[in-house]
Structure 1
Amino acid sequence: MAKRKRATEYAIVDIETTGGNARGSRMTEIAIIIHDGTNELERWESLINPEKDIPYYIFALTGINNEMVKDAPVFGDLAPVVYALLKDRVFVAHNVNFDYSFVKHQLEEEGYDWSAPKLCTVRMARKIRPGLPSYSLGRLCDSLDVPITDRHRAGGDATATAILFHKLLDWDTDKIIEGMIKKSAPDQRLPPNLAPEYVQQLPQCPGVYYFHNDAGKAIYVGKAVNLKKRVIQHFTGHNINPQRQHFLREIHSISFEPCATELMALLLECIEIKRLWPAYNRALKRFEPKYGMFRYTAMNGYEYLAIGKLAKGQPSIAVFNREYDGVKMLRTLAETYQLDFRFCKFGKASYVKHMVDMPEEEELPDMQEHNEKVDLAIAGWHEQQPSFAILDKGRAAGEQSCIWVERGHFYAMGYIDEHVQFTTFEDLRATLKRYYGNHYMMQLIHLHAAKHPAKVKSLIPQHKAAETYVLPERAGLLF
């Protein structure tokens, strides 16, 4: 005789804790209600000694203080009971990932390998009763006439969640909840406030994606080779990092911008982080140059060139990752344009041991002649910086992408019709969107150009003073 399948049972859970994340905080109270979808089958709750002090602000919220939990069992003593109650049942909670992360983490610490399908009453309510002013437990209960007592205590909140859960089951005529429990359902991994439609709309192409909070503000910007795959990766795995837990709760919607290539996605990500400065993006500080070459005029009227540390937002002639690279470049300029080394500040002396020895008492050069040499040196350096375009595939057939670099600086990028004929690259430049890059973006571009030289088209200036360019030849992807 075939074994009869047990009806689905639910463990409705609420916990109180010493803080907001499972890594640095502990549970102080837990309540578990076993429900079969129609009736409450069992109820269990207990205070827990967290083995650490309860912060005052937590006491103010929950009413649980150190004295109350002093003689309560530690979680290790309760773990067998908690595991037995949760085993083979659907884990239900309001903002389920919060409760689930604490319970899973502390069970793992006690040697229990446990996981369960999850149901979030926030997500359930959003699907079954959309359009309510708020989905916090207190306000949701007010909107749906669910009685709630002992707010912010595990037993009281678990009871309210169980009543809410029962009502949602009754209202679920379209069997939405049944679909949410399936292992493959997006609801098993998505944040509580994010509708699956936002993930379903994502294409499988390179691009930039934006996570937005409930006010529509971008809180995170990322790049992807495959937009859908990368976004889903944010929501997989059991990560109890506090930043991630707060981050997931704040995600309410997703928008995206498709790009033709990974390089364009990388560049657009940098541009958008700089423009929006989202709360959960780490600043690209490790990619920022540390040194710069500067020009200044001394009180005696002589122009100086110097290599030094680069402050944020400080203008400079050139920037470098290493002081050595800056010193090397300045020494080359000084030798090429016969600058007096006394007007060049090279930073650390250890880099310039072999510098020409020039006594300080030697007569200074003519000031006008010296300053003109400095002008020539700087102009010469700028003229040496490459101007080129990277032409590559577009987002669709009949389109090409273009990244434009002018005198060593990222200048513009965009998309063009591959059937349009351009006489000069100046015509092409006019069709692209202007951007302002940085040192890190140019590093990305140079690395890509070195790896794919066939996609690089050099630009030759017609006139030194004018920013007008012509093609070296009419061969290539576009022409």
Structure 2
Amino acid sequence: MSKQAREYAIVDIETTGGSADRSRITEVAIIIHDGQQVIDRWETLVNPQQYIPLSIQGLTGITDEMVADAPIFQDVASTIYDYLHGRIFVAHHVNFDYSFLKHQLGESGLTWQSPKLCTVRLARKIKPGFASYSLGRLCDALGIRLNDRHRAGGDVSATAELFELLVASDSESVLEQMLKRNSSVQRLPANLSQDIFDNLPMVAGVYYFHDRSGKVIYVGKAINIKKRVSGHFTGHNIQAKRQDFLKEIHNISFQLCGTELMALLLECQEINRLWPKYNRALKRAEAKYGLVNYTGMDGYMHVSLIKLAKHQRCIRPFYSLREGVSSLRNLIEHFSLDKRFCHFPSEVSLPTTLEIRARRSIDLPELDGYNERVEKAMEAVQTKSSSYIIVDQGRNLEEKSCIWIENGKFYGMGYISKENQSTTWADYKDDLQRYHGNEYMMQLIESFLQQSKAMHEIIPIEEEHIENRVNTQFVALKMKLM
């Protein structure tokens, strides 16, 4: 589309809610603009064919009675398509309006796609420094009339006047830059500066999305930070949660990590420390069940699979009931444990429960021999009691990354200068940051080492005990990777 022939469809809609896949449009207003003046205008109420929540009625003033006799969207879809097709789509917080119209046009059998222009982003570039870029606050600051606030007709008129003012003030051709065919700016959240995105590194690390007040609302890890962050902003996700998420992003910070594994571990630590609003998966990454053992009043050692309280210690944690049940049943089979002294959670159906109760005091095993078998079983399930350091590439050529595992537990990590490297673990300790690890982080470490083909160096912390203390799996890794 040439600059001379360019036309803009300035749009505002009202809806029954914030999610395009569940909510519906109640009003549409479109102004056609040639960059200098308004050349056409169209608007209509729309029957959403669903109840308008009272909170939305209070905000917009659009009631169920007002839309009862209005056309349904399908009846006006072709008219809306004709107004939008071949024109640049302009709106304040453009992705919201665009997502609803694209979704409902698609439902009506009309495939539509247009270049987008966000007046929030345009205003931030051409008129920087305002405390707020909401339509109401921006109009107040710039002296633009805004009648019938939160009605499509009133808001679209104000948006068109704002657009004209911004175009007239565009002395640095910001509009042309934003409309470049391959420009990524329209994919970015409206409140995020293009400069912040442009300055993101293309290396491994952890990134943080911040809201307007600077609070971290999301933490993520990446092999390539810039590429991964860009992935958050691409695609056509119409869910309200994603739209709200994008609106809240005002800034991005990051920490370089050197390797994907370092980034994975730091991401876990930061989510546990910051508990960001939009992180969900790793918040749930806590073990739910665990094996414990104790000596009963009868002198026999008992083994129980229990539900874990927060931070409760156990011999072996499990992230699912199925995994824990399978492990305990394997112990019973391989170490000939007596089912009468092995206990499952109440939700596990055990066909032999009545039989076990009937045999409670019959044919008991010899006490010392049985307890010895239980002790061997408990030794077998205690995971990875080895101590070692994983050495890999650092954030630059002058350092290496280190991950410290002690007695099978994640203990700390950090970076050491190549000049200060040693083959003894004590020399690494002071340069590493202490962290609170968990079983999930150990699973990440073990899984990553099994799958990775990188040249890691795994240094035993206690070399003289390496044959006795390092799990066979890690001996193989040491031979393969060093």
Asked if Structure 1 and Structure 2 have the same fold, meaning a TM-score greater than 0.5 normalized by the shorter chain, the answer is yes
Of 451, 462, 468, 1:460 maps to 462
Q: Measure the CA separation in 1 of the matches of 2:384 and 2:114.
A: 62
Q: Measure the CA separation in 1 of the matches of 2:360 and 2:176.
A: 87
Of 261, 264, 281, 1:263 maps to 261
Cα deviation for residue 181 of structure 1 reads: 1.4
**Aligned partners of 2:456 and 2:481 also within 8 Å:** no
What is aligned with 2:424?
Answer: 424
- Counting only pairs closer than 5 Å after superposition, residues 35-114 of structure 1 correspond to structure 2 as 35-114=33-112
Cα deviation for residue 205 of structure 1 reads: 0.9
Q: Measure the CA separation in 2 of the matches of 1:332 and 1:418.
A: 50
TM-score normalised by length of structure 1: 0.86
What is aligned with 1:436?
Answer: 436
Cα deviation for residue 81 of structure 1 reads: 1.4
Cα distance change, pair 108–6 in 1 and its aligned pair in 2 (3 A): farther
Provide, for residues 353-394 of structure 1, a one-character-per-residue CA deviation record: whole Å limited to 9, x for no partner.
xx9x98626789899x99999899868976961222221111
Q: Give the total of aligned pairs.
A: 462
Provide, for residues 288-326 of structure 1, a one-character-per-residue CA deviation record: whole Å limited to 9, x for no partner.
434212245657887644222334433222213412454
**Aligned partners of 2:383 and 2:408 also within 8 Å:** no
Cα distance change, pair 457–333 in 1 and its aligned pair in 2 (3 A): farther
RMSD, aligned α-carbons = 3.5
**Aligned partners of 2:303 and 2:342 also within 8 Å:** yes
- Counting only pairs closer than 5 Å after superposition, residues 116-195 of structure 1 correspond to structure 2 as 116-195=114-193
**Aligned partners of 2:292 and 2:304 also within 8 Å:** yes
Q: Which amino acid aligns with 2:240?
A: P
**Aligned partners of 2:457 and 2:481 also within 8 Å:** no
- Counting only pairs closer than 5 Å after superposition, residues 341-360 of structure 1 correspond to structure 2 as 344-345=342-343, 360=361
Q: Which amino acid aligns with 1:205?
A: V
Q: Measure the CA separation in 2 of the matches of 1:240 and 1:115.
A: 15
SS of 1:419 mapped into structure 2: helix
SS of 2:160 mapped into structure 1: helix
Cα distance change, pair 363–161 in 1 and its aligned pair in 2 (3 A): closer
Provide, for residues 202-242 of structure 1, a one-character-per-residue CA deviation record: whole Å limited to 9, x for no partner.
11111111111111111111111111111111111111022
**Aligned partners of 1:449 and 1:455 also within 8 Å:** no
What is aligned with 2:12?
Answer: 14
1:234 aligned onto 2:232: yes
Cα distance change, pair 109–340 in 1 and its aligned pair in 2 (3 A): closer
SS of 1:255 mapped into structure 2: strand
Instruction: Return 5+ residue gaps in structure 2 as ranges.
Output: 470-474
Q: Measure the CA separation in 2 of the matches of 1:462 and 1:50.
A: 75
**Aligned partners of 1:391 and 1:402 also within 8 Å:** yes
What is aligned with 1:395?
Answer: 395
Q: Measure the CA separation in 2 of the matches of 1:317 and 1:113.
A: 58
Cα deviation for residue 17 of structure 1 reads: 0.6
Q: Measure the CA separation in 1 of the matches of 2:270 and 2:113.
A: 38
**Aligned partners of 2:28 and 2:45 also within 8 Å:** yes
Q: Measure the CA separation in 1 of the matches of 2:352 and 2:307.
A: 15
Q: Measure the CA separation in 2 of the matches of 1:303 and 1:180.
A: 71
Cα distance change, pair 96–141 in 1 and its aligned pair in 2 (3 A): same
Provide, for residues 430-453 of structure 1, a one-character-per-residue CA deviation record: whole Å limited to 9, x for no partner.
211111222222112112233458
Q: Measure the CA separation in 2 of the matches of 1:172 and 1:391.
A: 53
Of 204, 211, 214, 1:213 maps to 211
Identity level (%)? 52
Cα deviation for residue 186 of structure 1 reads: 2.6
Q: Which amino acid aligns with 2:457?
A: K
Provide, for residues 401-434 of structure 1, a one-character-per-residue CA deviation record: whole Å limited to 9, x for no partner.
1111111111111111223242521221221111
